[in-house]
Structure 1
């Protein structure tokens, strides 16, 4: 795995699909999981012009700590001319993103295949 990041560590599995880095969040993404994920997320989002896919398909719980991870990744990537694509099939998480006005920011798609086909969101 590039970026010196182990591919699998607890709540996180990192792999490459079609030349793109995919971070799968697994299980309950709460404050404890976020503290474990954050250093790996920072390592993956450090290079310039990175395209990152975060896949929430394997999550069983996703709270504001998970949202903070998404916002952190998106901010870091935008600062480096990169982009975040999101896979999110869970209705409750999608509803939370919608209520908070974040669906336009993250452009969630229901599957990894859909996400990889999707064009990158326009830059502000």
Structure 2
């Protein structure tokens, strides 16, 4: 993974690089996912509202990351302001794809309402949310 000025790059299986930029402004691009690597792990930071619209924008990215060479994919929800069943679908889908490659997904979340949604859906045990990225990387 290469890093540029406020830009993160994701290498796919073909060696192509897809630039993801975080911009400021009134549109939703300020909530674009940010990806970074820590060793053989990828950390995907999601922010803003994780709803059906975000699902359709984020699922292809998480599919690419979970198909990549990463042993662990950390999905950091710390910056999210809203999370619904579409967000749960993203997490379950990423976990399933990572496990199919003998990898794992770790979820970082401290927001009480998001944790409650995960708990009520019966996914606390399988998703195992933790409070920090550092804890997720252990």
Q: CA deviation at 1:7?
A: 3.8
State the TM-score, normalizing by the size of structure 2: 0.77
**Cα pair 2:77 2:109 within 8 Å, conserved:** yes
Question: What per-residue deviation string (whole Å, max 9, x for no partner) do you get for residues 50-96 of structure 1?
Answer: 31000000000011111110011001111111100110011111111
Q: TM-score, normalised by structure 1?
A: 0.85
| 3-state SS in 2 of match to 1:89 | coil
Match of 1:25 among 32, 40, 46: 46
Relative to structure 2, which stretch is displaced further, 39-48 or 69-78? Answer: 39-48
- The 10-residue stretch of structure 1 (17-26 or 41-50) with the greater mean CA deviation from structure 2: 41-50
Greater relative contact order, per chain length (Cα 8 Å cut-off, separation 6+): 1
Question: Are 2:68 and 1:47 equivalent residues in the alignment?
Answer: yes
1:49: how far off?
Answer: 6.1
2:124 aligned partner: 103
Identify, as 1 or 2, the structure richer in strand.
2
Matched position secondary structure for 1:101: coil
Equivalent position to 1:74, from 78, 88, 95? 95
Distance 1:20 1:70, change over 3 A: same
Structure 2: distance between partners of 1:8 and 1:75:
27
| Distance in structure 2 (CA, Å) of the matches to 1:113 and 1:50 | 15
- Bigger shift: residues 84-93 or 2-11: 2-11
Instruction: Report the aligned-residue RMSD.
Output: 1.7
Give the gaps of 5 or more residues in structure 1. Answer: 118-124
Structure 2, unpaired ranges of 5+: 1-8, 23-28
Shift of 1:48: 5.8
After the TM superposition, list the runs of 4 or more consecutive aligned residues in structure 1 that deviate by more than 4 angstroms.
Answer: none
- Indicate if the aligned counterparts of 2:47 and 2:80 stay in contact, CA closer than 8 A: yes
